[in-house]
Amino acid sequence: MKTPLLFLVSFLAATTAFAADNPAAPAAAAPAATNPAPVTPANDPAYTYKTLRLNRAAFDALAARPGELLVLDVRRPDELTKVGGFPVYLSIQTKEVQNSLAYIPRDRLIVVVSNRAHRAGAVGDLLSSYGFRVVGAIGVRDYEDEGGSLLKIAPPAQSAAAPSAAQTAAAAPAQQAK
């Protein structure tokens, strides 16, 4: 249960550091011909949630105010390492959100993140029903398609495996005989 709180503390500290190191600067716009059209209800009728679906420009404008924003990523760890994500976020998987409401700050604007915003929209609607200030949902793949950069997260290096309980039990009699 302390894990979401640890992520939140890390999020708050890193948000402040990120904002200090990266003052808000206008993003260089790529030519319109190379960027696909932003995802809208017109070109993604499957997005049926009440939570506003954000595009890159709207997300970047919110991210420029880190002291007011919480980015809640609801993807699985394997999705984070495969696709990448935003530099600072609170990670609570979709299936755990309802059990983790106490760890989500109510004094922040919330943007919910998933791969293509569908899970984010569903979680945004859920959080809104509990009185959280959800301002939108975004998909990291949509953000990247619109020219945004994601932070690629490498999985931790595999450490030497600790001996199993069976190996430890088998070695104990041999050590006692010495």
Q: Could you report the per-residue pLDDT of 71-103, keeping only the tens digit for each? A: 999 999 999 999 999 989 999 999 999 999 999
pLDDT of residue 176: 56
Main-chain phi, psi angles of 52, to 5 degrees: -60, 130
Listed residue (82, 145, 155, 70) closest to 113, CA to CA: 70
Integer Cα distance of 84 and 21 in angstroms? 21
CATH number at residue 42: 3.40.250.10
**CA atoms of 84 and 78, how far apart (whole Å):** 10
Residue 140, pLDDT above cutoff 60? yes
Amino acid 10 reads S
pLDDT of residue 112: 98
Give the count of beta carbons closer than 10 Å to the beta carbon of residue 151. Answer: 12
pLDDT at 25: 38
Give the mean pLDDT of 133-148: 95
Q: What backbone phi and psi angles, to 5 degrees, belong to 96? A: -105, -5
Distance, CA of 81 to CA of 60 (rounded, Å): 22
pLDDT at position 85 is 93
- Provide the domain limits for residue 107: 2-177
What's the domain count of the chain? 1
Tokens of 17: 């550091």
Strand order in the sheet with 69-73: 90-91, 69-73, 109-114, 133-139
Answer yes or no: pTM beyond 0.85.
Answer: no
DSSP lists the bridge partners of residue 139 as: 114
> What pLDDT, on a 0 to 100 scale, did the predictor assign at position 167?
58
Q: Which pLDDT does position 99 carry in this prediction?
A: 97
Give CA separation, 93 vs 31, 38, 39, 56, 83, in Å.
35, 26, 23, 22, 15
pLDDT score of 136 more than 80: yes
In the chain, where do the E strands start and end? 69-73, 90-91, 109-114, 133-139
